[in-house]
Amino acid sequence: MSDLESSHYVSYAIFFCTIAVVLLTLTPVIFPALFSSVFGMFTENLNPFEPGYQSVFLIVSNIVIFGFGIAYYKNKIPSPVYDVFEKIRTFEISKKIAIISLTIILGIYIGLSSPELLLNEGDDWSDYNAVLLPALEIWPFGEAEDVYVQEQNDRYVRMFLLDMSLNIFQNIKLLPFIASILVVVFTYLITAQFSQKRFAGIIATVVLLQTYTFLKYDTVAVYENFWVLFFLISLYAIQKKWFLSPVFYILAFYTKAYVAPFFLMTLFTTYKSEISTRTKLAILISYIVIVGISIAIIFLGDTVYPDVIQVNSSKFMLGFQVIISQLRFDLFFIMMILPVTVGLMLLSKNGLKHADSILILIFGTILVAPTLVTFTYHYEILPYRFVPLLVFFSIGIGMFFSKKSVNDS
């Protein structure tokens, strides 16, 4: 089997896995009670096939999008319309224009979001007073009987940054907000790196900044985005300074343990990156070492994580039901995630290597939620945990603008 054939098999395997979890995630949009009627505790009086209030929106929008997409792919749309879309997909901007555009976008975002820094966190989020503040009071060496408070102090990087934001900058929201701003920046950088198009990066940042969930949690300290930022940097560093990738992954891990399985997606992205085999092996070895050390610290050290393991297989399918309910306000995501998944497969087929990387990142950031609630009682599926999914969805949208003109190629 040639390397090309092997690569195609890998691409198809990634696509089928991703579309499977995407379909499982979208099924409750059409039939909200279906999974509960089969796997839930209270199944009486449930109509598993009663359509949800967003079902018509999802079905109609996808029929329209797929219809247009097929016509575009087969070149069956009117030539003027086709030419317009080709010009948009091949459009590129200079580095100077990209910097100016990104600065304007960030300026508008910061201007609209910065008033949130003056809000009292405790008034809006009960976990702030019940969990985070008690944890900060005993940080770094204190202990608490409450497992949720104690777990905070096992997240050393997070607590260090929040303590600094509160005690040095006198605003616990400030550093989380800066982290969210940098998430937007690295969304641009990763998209531009993966697609080789600066315009694609601008598109991705705009898509991310219209998502309800990102804007809801971008200044919230108790549900900060430090872990998302560190993981994004670890991905970006693969093709820049590879030795920084495991460093930022471990920072992400000690900010939020939820990111632990993400290293598998990092390794696949490494496999798809245009770097030397020697560098790929170095990254693989470095991740094996740091993941091994982290596992040893968790199970041999004094942490709460070994005590929260509890298997409940029924939660796996119910997890997919919860995902879409938590993202119900992100209508653009609901409408576009299936077309984006199929479109990324076509981009991969046409030679865009990192289309597979985005597919595996979408697959992983969806699957990790139902997996973790299946094997632990500590974690719940909460909206802010899908900020990485929305980031990779946004990058996926940007990838459709990766097509280069004849003059660029």
> What pLDDT sits at residue 409?
43
Phi and psi torsions of 243, nearest 5°: -70, -15
CA angle 274, 14, 56 (to 5 degrees): 125
Amino acid at 386: F
The residue extents of the domains of the chain are 3-119+173-399
Contact 375, 309 (CB under 8 A): yes
Q: How confident is the model at residue 406 (pLDDT cuts 50, 70, 90)?
A: very low
Contact 24, 320 (CB under 8 A): yes
State the chain's mean pLDDT as an integer.
91
Peptide bond into 140 cis (omega under 30): yes
Q: Which of 43-47, 222-226, 401-405 has the highest mean pLDDT?
A: 222-226
The predicted-structure confidence for 26-75, as pLDDT tens digits, reads as follows 999 999 999 999 888 777 788 899 999 999 999 999 999 999 999 998 88
Contact 136, 162 (CB under 8 A): yes
Contact 198, 92 (CB under 8 A): yes
How many other C-beta atoms are found inside a 10 Å radius of the C-beta of residue 364?
A: 23
Contact 405, 92 (CB under 8 A): yes
Whole-number percent of the chain with pLDDT over 70: 95
Question: Token digits for 338?
Answer: 């299936």
The predicted-structure confidence for 339-349, as pLDDT tens digits, reads as follows 999 999 999 99
Q: Classify residue 180 by burial, with Cβ atoms within 10 Å: 0-12, 13-18, 19+.
A: buried
Alpha-carbon gap, residue 237 to 54, rounded angstroms: 39
The structure tokens 């990142």 sit at 361
Contact 172, 148 (CB under 8 A): no
The predicted-structure confidence for 89-107, as pLDDT tens digits, reads as follows 999 999 999 999 999 999 9
Contact 31, 51 (CB under 8 A): yes
Residue 90's alpha-carbon distances to 66, 138, 198, 400, 408, in angstroms, are 21, 55, 11, 10, 9
Contact 372, 379 (CB under 8 A): yes
Closest CA to 121 of 177, 180, 168: 177
Which sign does the torsion angle of CA 317, 315, 58, 203 carry?
Answer: negative
- DSSP collapsed to 3 states, 336-363: HHHHHHHHHHHHHHCCCCHHHHHHHHHH
Interhelix angle 174-195/198-209, nearest 10 degrees: 140
Alpha-carbon gap, residue 405 to 332, rounded angstroms: 28
Alpha-carbon gap, residue 18 to 366, rounded angstroms: 9
Question: Rounded to two decimals, what is the model's pTM?
Answer: 0.94
| β-bridge partners, 376 | 309
Alpha-carbon gap, residue 219 to 165, rounded angstroms: 12
